Structure 1
């Protein structure tokens, strides 16, 4: 009888432990880790070599969210984004909010060494349609290139931002 009770007790404790591990690691999938290459403290450089700003990307909410905190080299501009893998849509999402009252919502995913997200079509004040697309490319030297492009309908693509992320020591 003691052996049976001991066996059931061990089985019960094992089940509790395994279920706790599963619930503590809800975002421990390959998909959830697809943007981890962006995590870190970065100095961001423009194509001409001048500083663009500083960016800190960290994992929060039990590794389910990447939080970005951007500070521009031009005084007075900051922004924060929340990036996460949406298991229902099977897409990555970013919600960007800055200190100028602007926001941006994008969705996308990783292809090779590149995370690509874009907005839905938007309408400018003049009635023209456009969308934004941002890509983050992991380079072989560990740097990350962020390219923000705007695609106005029927017009050439415009580059809104091009920055090279270099990890701070």
Structure 2
């Protein structure tokens, strides 16, 4: 039996397993769209642009082999965080947020060529039943900072009012906690 297998192998009847193997597929999140929110990744000191006072620290990390972005928002009191992912089949970004007040919110959106814009309903525990539609815009600036603005609508997006405005500046190494 061994001699028959050897003869078959030498005659070219058996091919190496390398030839039979399909080319490896690219990593799950290798598309350029998965990198659209990478400008937000980093250790940040977060400021109110009107007063230039530091209001929070934030750690934004690329996680799960580049498939997700995790936010850890740390103001002086309370805190919260989000997980963000691009879903290619839907061509959209999704963000799931939770915080220390017991709030949970889901946002959907995408890159508009200049900024990441996410929108969703954010229930307010203090005012049960009041609809709050929130639109957040994350804009990267040439100096490496990021501006995050928020707008709120209580009429399902017909009108919008400013809600928050933050400037993220890279924290000095070891400053963000």
Q: Which stretch of structure 1 is more off in the superposition, 89-98 or 127-136? A: 127-136
Alignment gaps of 5+ in structure 1: none
Instruction: Indicate if the aligned counterparts of 2:103 and 2:124 stay in contact, CA closer than 8 A.
Output: no
The structure richer in strand per residue is 1
CA-CA distance at 1:28 after TM superposition: 0.7
Change in 2 beyond 3 A, CA 1:39/1:7: same
Residue 79 of structure 1 is matched in structure 2 by: 80
1:110 paired to 2:111: yes
CA distance in 2 between partners of 1:89 and 1:155 (Å) = 25
Corresponding residue for 1:45? 47
More helix by share: 1
Structure 2: runs of 5 or more not aligned = 1-8, 173-177
Indicate the residue corresponding to 2:35 in structure 1. 33
Per-residue CA deviation, residues 77-119 of structure 1 (Å, 9 max, x unaligned), is 1111000002232110000000110011100000122000001
Hey, what's the Cα distance between the residues in 2 that align with 1:97 and 1:62? 22
| Residue deviations 1:117-161 (CA, integer Å, cap 9, x gap) | 001597995866441000000111111000011022288633222
Report SS of the residue matched to 2:35: coil
What residue is the counterpart of 2:10 in the other structure? Answer: 2
- If the length of structure 2 is used for normalisation, what is the TM-score? 0.79
Which piece of structure 1 moves more, 2-11 or 97-106? 2-11
Q: Which has the larger radius of gyration?
A: 2
Q: CA RMSD in A?
A: 2.6
CA distance in 1, matches of 2:138, 2:86: 16
Q: Where does structure 1 differ by over 6 angstroms across 4 or more consecutive aligned residues?
A: 121-124
Q: Secondary structure at the match of 2:80?
A: strand
Equivalent-residue separation in structure 2 for 1:101 and 1:122 (angstroms):
10
